[in-house]
């Protein structure tokens, strides 16, 4: 349809779905038999390969599994771990599970939010390269409070120790 010409369909900007657009997804699509129930497995793999789920990827997956676009987007956006923006160079995830909460994860998170926010003390030092996130328990509560930086667990942290560590990453 799109009789309203002021709207540019994002389809025009993306590659056409079909075989060959994302050949790297073929193995997982085949393993899932191109069945709709494999959607989450396919999305997991797509994000693993591309760091995020772009509209082009989502269109390709929808076409390959014969699913309506809104079904694919609705499902992908339901789950916390799927992302629709490119990842930053570094990722700092504060655990906000029960044990970490009891040991001060809240203060840790607030301090990091402040420091890494635009205008925060560390912004000038390149904070945009660090993405701050949270996770509800990684199940290694002995090290509370902890953060996970680029998949590495840093145990028993304070705001100062995390910031010092993050500054080290930037260099």
Binding interface with other proteins (CB under 8 A): 1-4, 6-11, 35-41, 43-44, 55, 58-59, 65, 68-75, 77-82, 96-99, 101-102, 135-144, 146, 152-153, 155
Q: Which residue lies nearer to other proteins by CB, 20 or 79?
A: 79
Minimum CB distance to other proteins, residue 89 (Å): 21
State the nearest-atom distance from the C-beta of 120 to other proteins, in Å: 19
Supply the minimum distance, in Å, between the C-beta of residue 40 and other proteins.
Answer: 5
* Spatial distance between the Cα atoms of 84 and 170, rounded to a whole number of angstroms: 24
Least separation in angstroms between residue 25's CB and other proteins is 15
> Judged by CB, which is closer to other proteins: 94, or 127?
94
Residue 103 vs 115, nearer CB to other proteins: 103
Q: How far is the CB of 125 from other proteins (least distance, A)?
A: 26
Collapse the DSSP code of 170 into the 3-class scheme (helix H, G, I; strand E, B; otherwise coil) and give the result. helix
Give the nearer residue to other proteins in terms of CB position, either 15 or 122: 15
Say if residue 55 is exposed, middle or buried (CB neighbours under 10 Å; 0-12, 13-18, 19+). Answer: middle
- For every residue of 122-168, DSSP letters joined together read TGGGTGGGEEEEEES--S-GGG-S-EEETTEEE-S--HHHHHHHHHH
CA distances from 48 to 52, 81, 167 (A): 8, 11, 27
How far, in Å, are 29, 77, 136, 150 from residue 33 at the CA level? Answer: 6, 23, 33, 33
Decide whether 125 or 153 has the Cβ nearer to other proteins: 153
């Amino acid at each position: 349809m799109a009789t309203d010409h002021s709207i540019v369909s994002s389809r025009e900007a993306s590659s056409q779905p079909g075989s060959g657009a994302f050949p790297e997804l073929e193995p997982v699509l085949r393993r899932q038999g191109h069945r709709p129930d494999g959607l989450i497995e396919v999305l997991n793999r797509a994000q693993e390969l591309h760091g995020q789920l772009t509209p082009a990827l989502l269109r390709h997956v929808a076409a390959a599994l014969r699913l309506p676009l809104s079904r694919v987007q609705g499902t992908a956006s339901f789950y916390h771990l799927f992302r629709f923006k490119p990842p930053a160079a570094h990722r700092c995830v504060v655990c906000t599970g029960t044990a970490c909460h009891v040991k001060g994860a809240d203060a840790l998170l607030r301090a990091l939010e402040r420091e890494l926010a635009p205008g925060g003390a560390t912004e000038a030092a390149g904070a945009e390269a660090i993405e701050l996130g949270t996770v509800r328990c990684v199940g290694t509560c002995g090290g509370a409070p902890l953060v996970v930086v680029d998949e590495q667990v840093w145990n028993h942290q304070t705001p100062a120790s995390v910031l010092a560590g993050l500054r080290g990453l930037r260099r």
